[in-house]
Chains A and B, each alone.
Chain A
Amino acid sequence: MNGVRVLVGTRKGAFILTSDDKRERWDVSGPQFAGWEIYHVKGSPADPNRIYASQTSGWFGQVIQRSDDGGKTWHQPGTPPGEPTTTPDGQPKGESNKFTYDTSDKTGKPLTTHQWYDGTQHPWEFKRVWHLEPSPVDPDTVYAGVEDAALFRSTDGGQSWHEMAGLRGHGTGPQWAPGAGGLGLHTILIDPANPKRIFIAISSAGTFRSEDGGETWKSITRGLKSLYIPDPEAEIGHCVHRIAMHPSRPSVLFMQKHWDVMRSDDAGDSWREISGNLPSDFGFVIDVHAHEPETIYVIPIKSDSEHFPPDGKLRVYRSRNGGNEWEALTKGLPQRDCYVNVLRDAMCVDKLDPCGVYFGTTGGQVYASSDSGDSWAPIVRDLPAVLSVEVQMLP
């Protein structure tokens, strides 16, 4: 029987929620890595037993965790305790939490600074991994989007990481500036039909596309308008919050920006607004129905100053025709006195029929719909603040 496994990262650990394909009864396990911030947990599409987790701490920095048994046990990829940390020829063994920026001329001159809040240049400093994107085909290959913004890749199951330096070397790097939440690379989309095509997004630099597996990048922000930057139509400076793609139509992209919900039909070469009748076009998450590429979901948030739903009503909005016309989905969701937020990596869909939709809140609820969003119920309601939600299909 098919089942689903929902991987939840929170401010104080990771949780794993499992169910059969009816998605009515859920088993909740965790916390794993109790007390640590778990920015993201995601499984390999090529091997559901392989899961990667980003474990971070203001005290102790970054840790990468890996499970090879579907989340039952975890380890830091690399050197086991007590064994030498170098190979006989002096090379370091696994250094799974070592993210070292490439200072070669691939990044420019080399590129060492980006724009700071006050307009001055500031050194690039690694802080944490925001997002882990396993390869669609190889369980040992995984991409990491980090703060300060850069893209890293591991091809040895997370034991070692290497920057894909062409992104920071795009030439606009010195113009990239952090938003209040940091200069994080949070979205990594890989075209399943053409893994050399990769999309990434950075708060608050913008969004980029590579056609050559990450060697070179093109800024894809034409059509974005952001009134909070000096030139609203500048190439760089748009605070993209999330981009989603349906795997069957990788040239159609949907974006939740700091303000505005946007759509591109040409792989990001141009964007147009599809906010339509949304009560607010601010928000963080956006996702696409597993079987209907024109059905998309957002969760409107009141504003960038008030990070909670409009009118205290937690509403998912669904468009069945690719945007502009949205319907509120409220059944089972709190419609009064609700002031939680839903963060950018905290929504996902499963591949069952009907499609399941999941999202987690800063209030610790994980809501699930097993009917494409028509009705909702909490799987759990008292976790720590949810940072990320991903789902895996189980054989």
Chain B
Amino acid sequence: MIRVIIPYHLRTLAQVGAEVTLDVDGPATLRSVLDALEVRYPMLRGTIRDHVTQQRRPFLRYFACGGDLSLEPPDTPLPAAIASGSEPFIILGAIAGG
């Protein structure tokens, strides 16, 4: 079980709380976790990664275990603590705007 924390506006879109839990088939990577998140909550497709390019949206970043994984290749294995569910995978929105 993998825990994912998503930004406020995506919680309202998916009608969930701050943290969601996902079962991921195979190794936990950025790609497999985001794929699982979008299958479970299809309304989030296109909101984290661009629909066409699959690139991370510029105002979002990925954090895990105190580290910024935003620029890691999508198939990089996530830390063991993320894969085990003891630490959450965090999708963080930039603090900006009025």
Contacts and interface: CB of A to CB of B under 8 A. Distances in A.
Interface string B62-97: 000000000000000000000000000000011001
Given A95-B51, A97-B51, A98-B51, A60 B43 contact: no
B12 A85 contact: no
Nearest to A80: B42
B42 A36 contact: no
A82 B41 CA distance: 6
A90 to B, nearest CB: 14
Given A57-B9, A59-B59, A63-B13, A98 B46 contact: yes
A171 interface: no
B42 A85 contact: yes
Nearest to A384: B98
B47 interface: yes
B57 A60 contact: yes
Contacts of A33: 12
Contacts of A97: 45-47, 51
B31 to A, nearest CB: 15
Contacts of B45: 85, 95, 97-98
Contacts of A36: 9
A54 to B, nearest CB: 14
A58 B51 CA distance: 15
A61 B57 contact: yes
A81 B57 contact: no
A46 interface: no
Contacts of A62: 46
Contacts of B13: 60, 63, 76
A76 to B, nearest CB: 5
A78 interface: yes
A341 B30 CA distance: 44
A79 interface: yes
Chief secondary structure at chain A's binding surface: loop
A97 B50 CA distance: 10
B34 to A, nearest CB: 13
Contacts of A82: 40
Contact of B51 (A35, A76, A100): A100
Contacts of A59: 7, 9, 57, 59-60, 93-94
A85 B39 contact: yes
B38 A34 contact: no
Contacts of B15: 81
Interface core residue of B12, B42, B43, B94 (most chain A CB under 10 Å) = B42
Contacts of A85: 38-39, 42, 45
Interface string A235-260: 00000000000000000000000000
Contacts of A99: 51
A83 B42 CA distance: 8
A84 B38 CA distance: 10
A36 B12 CA distance: 11
Nearest to A94: B42
Interface string A71-93: 00000101111111100000001
A98 B39 CA distance: 15
A60 B48 contact: yes
A362 to B, nearest CB: 13
B10 A60 contact: yes
A93 B57 CA distance: 23
* Residue with the highest number of chain B CB atoms closer than 10 Å, among A59, A63, A100: A59
A63 B45 CA distance: 10
B18 to A, nearest CB: 15
Given A81-B15, A85-B42, 9 more contacts: A36-B9, A57-B9, A59-B94, A61-B57, A63-B47, A85-B38, A98-B46, A98-B51, A100-B51
23 contacts: A36-B9, A57-B9, A59-B59, A59-B60, A60-B10, A60-B57, A60-B60, A63-B13, A76-B43, A79-B42, A81-B15, A81-B41, A81-B42, A83-B42, A85-B38, A85-B39, A85-B45, A95-B46, A97-B51, A98-B45, A98-B51, A99-B51, A126-B52
Interface of A: 33-36, 57-63, 76, 78-85, 93, 95, 97-100, 126
